Amino acid sequence: MDTFDFTGDRLNKFLEDGYLVIEGFYSPETCDRLRQECSRLIDDMNPADHRTVFSTQDHEQMKEDYFLTSGDKIRYFWEAEATDDNGELNRPKHKALNKIGHALHFLNPEFEKATFTPELEAILRKLQFKKPAIPQSMYIFKQPRIGGTVTKHIDATFLESTPSKLTGFWVALEDATLENGCLHFAPGSHRDAEVTYRMVRNPDKNAKQTLLFEGEFHALGDEKFVPVPVKKGSMIIIDGKVQHMSAKNVSDKSRHIYTFHVTETHESEWSQRNWLQPHTPFPLVYERTAR
Question: Is 35 within 8 Å of 104 (Cβ atoms)?
Answer: no
Please tell me whether residue 100 adopts helix, strand or coil conformation. strand
pLDDT tens string 116-173: 999 999 999 999 999 999 999 999 999 999 999 999 999 999 999 999 999 999 999 9
Report the share of the chain in percent with pLDDT over 90: 83
Asked if pLDDT for residue 2 goes beyond 70, the answer is: no
Mean pLDDT of the chain: 93
- Supply the pTM of this predicted model: 0.94
Q: Domains of the chain by range and CATH?
A: 8-289 (2.60.120.620)
- Residue 190, CB-side half-sphere exposure with 13 Å CA sphere: 24
pLDDT digits (tens, 9 = 90+) for 38-64: 999 999 999 988 877 755 544 454 546
- Total residues belonging to the chain: 291
Average pLDDT over residues 264-276: 97
CA distances (Å), origin 41, targets 36, 45, 90, 104, 108? 9, 6, 20, 11, 10
Give the pLDDT band (50/70/90) at residue 273.
Answer: very high
pLDDT for res 71: 93
What pLDDT does 210 receive?
Answer: 87
Cα 158 to Cα 24, 62, 94, 153: the distances in Å are: 29, 12, 27, 10
Query: What is the reported pLDDT for 51?
Result: 73
Exposed / middle / buried, residue 60 (Cβ in 10 Å: 0-12, 13-18, 19+): middle
Alpha-carbon span 84 to 174, nearest angstrom: 29
